[in-house]
A and B are shown apart, each in its own frame.
Chain A
Amino acid sequence: MTLGVTWALDWMRRTATLVVAHREELSELDRQIGDGDHGENLARGFTAVITKLDEQPTPLQHVGEVLRIAATTLMSTVGGASGPLYGTAFLRASRATARTELDAEGMVALLEACLEGVRDRGGAALGDKTMADAWFPAAEAAAQSAEHGASPVEVLRAATLAARRGVEATAQLAAVRGRASFLGDLSIGVADPGAASTALVIEAAHDAAVAAVSRAA
């Protein structure tokens, strides 16, 4: 079983749905340690991604094309730091997935490219209380499960669970980057909103994969 452009389109739709559903929660986290607009910004951004994908005159052929459109749309429509961060993550991922179908290794390459994009753009290290703290364990868990012969769905499941653990771990950390860094130790006790939205994005990828498998069955 591999996952292709249909999965990627469904992934983006499910991401938009999840982000819109959790908009308040994301903004509330951000209100506590940042500028309070993370949920709104991402809801606007991913909604615009869906609009953009719907407007494509000809059907998209590759996962990479979907991700490239998502990347450029997010860069233009989010307005906060998460725009350049998700934009760069998906842009790198689109280059890593310029093929028709993704197997387990392809999925690992996608997640690793996202992580690399986030780290390059933001300069964050593990433990800085940023979205990298969700991308990093997700990519690591994905790679481990692929090594053990997991399917793409199982790889994404491992990534989703690891990302959620990563989010929980950020609550114990003091922010050293971004607006939250002005709070320093006062940011301890609140999970990082960027990590929280990352977990939703990866969860949506898993949900879309599960749906693709059940369609195929």
Chain B
Amino acid sequence: MTARVGIVLVAHAAELARGTASVAKQMAPDVPIEAVGGFWVDGLESLGTDVDAVRAAVSRLLDDGRDVVVLGDLGSAVLTAELVLELLDDAESGRVRVPGGPFVEGAVAAAVRAAGGAGLEDVAAAARGAALIWNGNVSGAAAESGSRVVSDGGEDSEGGAVSEGGASPEDGAVSDGGESGALSSRVVLGNTTGLHARPAAILARLVAGFDASVTVNGAPAESVFELMKLAADGGAELEVVAVGPGASEARDAVVAAIASGLGER
């Protein structure tokens, strides 16, 4: 699925912008992400944000036919982005959003949503809504579990890969149960590391390709963060519910993907 929306990450340091772009791209490799960091004077970086560079990055994506979501790392980066919005002509600025939201989480959420082919408002809302992941006591769960999360291939195993069973999806869950035409199946998660960030992103990308609304244990499967909040361990049994014209194909694909471990063992 081709991303209709590109993302511009504006940070006070080039390293921060580039690193955040890498993290987001790991989960959404096909989404165009521009990293604009630091303020450069005579080839030397100082910490700051660069209006001209942000504007150029936004224009590159617009010229490429994408709508654009711009995220900033701190207030003045957002201020810079909003100024760029004002400098664009109306036809262009209508295709750009500066939604606000946490920088890293917002970048990942927006990128994954964009990878699913979502439109401008949806991608912007994903970035803004990413702040909510901290409302679910994620850090508390992490402290309790105290366990490592090893992923294969020696990559880092940050974020969300908290193995603490029994977390309940308390919000935003689409109701599944009694809806007519809902198809459900139970399936055992076939990897050992659980439904952490990368498998969750794979799952979210997968369901975006179907004309169906899919939940996993009540969490909307198009949302990486809702999936991560399930804190499902490897080997956990999950309930997949699909609704909509493509429900049957979606459910089968999701069940097969979860059973196979979502790209992991």
Contact = CB atoms under 8 A, between A and B. Distances in A.
A76 interface: yes
Interface in B50-87: 50-52, 74-76, 79-80, 82-83, 86
A145 B75 CA distance: 35
Interface in A90-141: 121-122
B79 A41 contact: no
B96 to A, nearest CB: 16
Interface string A5-38: 0000000000000000000000000000001010
A115 B76 CA distance: 18
B50 A79 contact: yes
Nearest to A83: B51
Given A84-B79, A85-B79, A37 B86 contact: no
Interface of A: 35, 37, 41, 44, 75-76, 78-81, 83-85, 87-88, 121-122, 177-179, 181
A122 B80 CA distance: 10
Judged by DSSP, the binding face of A is helix
B46 A178 contact: no
24 contacts: A37-B46, A37-B47, A37-B48, A41-B48, A75-B52, A78-B48, A79-B39, A79-B46, A79-B48, A80-B76, A81-B75, A81-B76, A81-B79, A83-B51, A84-B82, A84-B83, A87-B83, A88-B83, A88-B86, A122-B79, A178-B75, A178-B76, A179-B76, A181-B75
Nearest to A82: B76
Contacts of B143: none
Contacts of A84: 51, 76, 79-80, 82-83
Name the 9 nearest CB pairs between A and B, nearest first.
Answer: A81-B76, A79-B39, A79-B48, A84-B83, A75-B51, A84-B79, A76-B52, A80-B48, A178-B75
Interface of B: 39, 41, 46-52, 74-76, 79-80, 82-83, 86
Nearest to A75: B51
Nearest to B82: A121
Contacts of A179: 74-76
Contacts of A178: 75-76
A122 B86 CA distance: 13
A132 B52 CA distance: 25
A179 B86 CA distance: 23
B123 to A, nearest CB: 23
B182 to A, nearest CB: 44
Given A41-B48, A79-B41, A79-B48, 18 more contacts: A35-B47, A37-B46, A37-B48, A75-B51, A75-B83, A79-B46, A80-B39, A81-B75, A81-B76, A83-B51, A83-B80, A84-B51, A84-B80, A84-B82, A121-B79, A121-B82, A121-B83, A178-B76
A123 B91 CA distance: 24
